[in-house]
Amino acid sequence: MSSSTRLIVVSNRLPVTLRRQAGGWKITASAGGLVTAMAPMLKRTNGLWVGWPGEATGAGDATRQEAIDAWAGGSHYVIVDIPAKTAELYYEGYSNQTIWPLFHYFPSLLSYDPRSFPAYKEANYRFCKAVLKHARPDDLIWVHDYQLMLLPQMLREAMPDARIGFFLHIPFPSSEVFRLLPGRDELLQGVLGADLIAFQTHAHLQHFRSALLRISGLESQIDEVEVGGRSVRMEALPIGIAPDEFRKLLETDAETGRYKEQYRQRFRDRRLLFSVDRLDYTKGIPERLRTYRHLLQHAPHLRGKVVLVQIAVPSRERVASYARLRRRVNEMVGEINGQFSTPDWTPVVYLHRGVSRPQLVALYAMADVGWVTPLRDGMNLVAKEYVACNEGHGVLVLSELAGAAAEMGEAFLVNPFDIERTAEVIQRALDLPVNERRERMDALRRRVEFNNVYKWGDRFLQQLEKAAASRARRPAGQPGLLDMRAVVSAYQDARKRILLLNYDGTLAEYTGRPEQAAPSQPLLALLEDLSRPSKNYVALVSGRRREDIEKWFGGIAGVYLAAEHGAWIRPFGSKEWVERVQSRSNDWKPRVIELLEQFVERAPGSLIEEKEHSVVWHYRMTHPEFGEWLAAELIGILEGMLSETDVSAVLGQKCVEIRPLWIHKGQVVEEILKAHGDADFRFAAGDDRTDEDMFAQLSPEDWTVRVGKGETRARYYLPNPAHVRALLREFTAADVPDARPASASV
């Protein structure tokens, strides 16, 4: 980060609590991984934290902001006030009863009040205004989590050049689940306002990409998506903990030491199973209790020998599903203790409240099993904290549905819904020889220490700076209308020219059926004229079948032809086609065609086009909305079906094309540029997603032209193929200033 860069953190809650007290305000800082990670960066950059104070009263009372500034020694905390009713609908409503259950795969717990989305918008807007009041052009703005998904775009509209990053702490669900969300399109557009969007795991990132495609029709690359003439980077950046803080407590804190000794005595003859969670239905507490009951029933020798300490920190108590959960957990604990307790043994020690850090750390250190089995979790820091604090004798039993599972392979991974298997695994963990326990724990500890929260924060900001810098280098905003005079003059001045032209939708209008789009005589003459000057290298880069391209354009000598997106080429000056094939396996084709046939039946008027290396489903002739809807469904099915292959499905202009990943127009352009890198005029025109691969090979100074509307990385646009033909005609006229070209009537 450069010295003038300042960090602005925006999160739903400010990391402080404010209570009114006689003569002023009582302010206490909250602890937690995020605060720990942000603190050094905020300090280093003299940064700001913008957030809502939650329950605190005192909106409009200036003494509150003054008190917090005095406490922080400067204006480091910016309070966002939200009126009570809006706050309820925004926070308890849309955030915690709509987004939260859905993103954690609990659609049955989703409840949606139509007033809550406008309130969510309003709350996001209040955050936006607060940020705008303080933001400077050089700042890095880091927006956190699901409560603020509209904020990046709101900020982008107000500050088009701002550097904005977004991190989602919770899972991003499969697009099948995400599509159930009222407000889904706005939320996607909202986060796309950022330069960098980061997730806890690759799986979440993939789900997000799939939602972009299936809900917004946006194609993305592995880590990038084009939107509104900008590119947005996407990353998986798993959050870590601050291991030093835990180590410090263990090594030097007397209170922690006392608790450790106390627990050592208390659990002397027993094995300690330990869980700590917010009391949330995603954390799998009832399932854990059921598993424990099963264990005690089926492994009677463990009775009296194990204790489960379950800490459940009260959370969101005003939401009905949480109140129900609380009752359910109380009942279950009562039942288990009622059934199995003896005068000197209680199987479950249940605390419905938080404990102090020293107590928590002492329990982590002593526990024989860290039982961390959420039904779904973005990351789960408890798993990492347990590993950081344990003395090496313990075993981590971790849900495979927590984001942490992706990095913690040495844990015993379980499916928490499978009670019998999980109970077996707990038993195995208890029986595991001590050296194996140590080996696993050491490997885990090394990773937790290495991938700590400081690295996570640094990495996020580095990536954000990079993403914003590459946006700034790109020409700003939407493509501008191509200035004919400027391009013709550049063409005229050039010593060597490359012209890369797509055919359908670029040189010729679309027709109902692909075979009806044969080029007109004047168009052929125009291409002939264009390719005549010796300094011109004209390439026709099409996705069509080789037969079509050969039949239609084979007669024009000097033109380079590429068919099937470059699977076949006819180089400059050659009459022979070359097959640029790296793998001949077309095994996937019959299965795909079988599927497409079902889609043809469902959408009368649609049709299948089979090429040598690809297959296309065209739906131009179907009902437009139904066609789009089916195309999204088809892509979703194909994504799963082809996940193990190098074949992918791409949305084209009213078609879905299925082809090997290695075939794309970018490759053709790369080869042409390699051979003719000295060309000082480079022009490319195309109209659909497959042409973006062409544009990607060219640099910002080149003449890249998108034909028609749509997301593009091209610098310019032209409204339709007639304009492209008119431009090419101008080119040919520029070469023969005094003579009208033969193709003047195209």
**Listed residue (627, 621, 620) closest to 599, CA to CA:** 627
E strands, 30-71, are: 48-52
CB of 276 to ligand GDG, least distance (A): 5
* Cβ pair 231, 219 in contact under 8 A: no
Q: What number of CA atoms fall less than 13 Å from residue 591's CA on the CB side?
A: 10
Taking contact as CB under 6 A, which single stretch among the options 86-94, 188-196, 377-385, 567-575 is the one that binds ligand GDG?
377-385
Contacts 24+ apart (CB under 8 A), 258-267: 259/358, 259/359, 259/361, 259/362, 259/363, 260/362, 260/365, 260/366, 262/362, 263/362, 263/363, 263/366, 264/366, 267/307, 267/366
Among 379, 517, 567, 707, binds ligand GDG (CB under 6 A): 379
The answer to whether 39 contacts ligand GDG (rule: CB under 6 A) is: no
CB of 332 to ligand GDG, least distance (A): 20
**Listed residue (679, 616, 614) closest to 653, CA to CA:** 616
Taking contact as CB under 6 A, which single stretch among the options 226-234, 349-357, 523-531, 680-688 is the one that binds ligand GDG?
349-357
Taking contact as CB under 6 A, which single stretch among the options 7-15, 77-85, 374-382, 530-538 is the one that binds ligand GDG?
374-382
Alpha carbon separation from 441 to 263, 277, 390, 411, 744 (Å, rounded): 21, 21, 8, 8, 78
Enter the tokens of residue 166: 């977004």
Binding positions for ligand GDG, 233-252, rule CB under 6 A: 239
Among 231, 380, 422, 502, binds ligand GDG (CB under 6 A): 380
Cα 524 from Cα 138, distance rounded (Å):
53
CB of 322 to ligand GDG, least distance (A): 13
Among 109, 311, 366, 561, binds ligand GDG (CB under 6 A): 311
User: In the beta sheet, which residues pair with residue 395?
Assistant: 369
Q: Catalytic site residues?
A: 169, 377
CB of 657 to ligand GDG, least distance (A): 38
| Continuous segment of H or E residues that includes residue 123 | helix 116-134
E strands, 284-419, are: 306-313, 348-351, 369-372, 395-399, 412-414
Q: How many residues bind ligand GDG (CB under 6 A)?
A: 20
The answer to whether 382 contacts ligand GDG (rule: CB under 6 A) is: yes
For ligand GDG, which is the closer residue by CB, 383 or 656?
383
For ligand GDG, which is the closer residue by CB, 170 or 679?
170
Q: For the chain, how far is it from start to end, CA to CA, in angstroms?
A: 56
Among 170, 188, 319, 408, binds ligand GDG (CB under 6 A): 170
Among 82, 155, 276, 426, binds ligand GDG (CB under 6 A): 276
CB of 243 to ligand GDG, least distance (A): 12
Cα 652 from Cα 543, distance rounded (Å):
10
**Listed residue (316, 295, 245) closest to 54, CA to CA:** 316
CB of 355 to ligand GDG, least distance (A): 4
Q: What is the 3-state secondary structure (H, E, C) of 513-531?
A: CHHHCCCCHHHHHHHHHHH
- Going residue by residue from 443 to 482, which x/- string records binding to ligand GDG, judged by CB under 6 A? ----------------------------------------
Among 149, 360, 468, 684, binds ligand GDG (CB under 6 A): 360
User: Which 3 state secondary structure label does DSSP give 144?
Assistant: strand
Taking contact as CB under 6 A, which single stretch among the options 19-27, 380-388, 389-397, 444-452 is the one that binds ligand GDG?
380-388
CB of 15 to ligand GDG, least distance (A): 13
The answer to whether 177 contacts ligand GDG (rule: CB under 6 A) is: no
CB of 312 to ligand GDG, least distance (A): 9
Cα 418 from Cα 373, distance rounded (Å):
11
Among 278, 326, 532, 620, binds ligand GDG (CB under 6 A): 278
Task: Catalog residues that contact ligand GDG under the rule CB under 6 A.
Answer: 32-33, 169-170, 239, 276, 278, 311, 313, 354-355, 357, 360, 377-382, 385
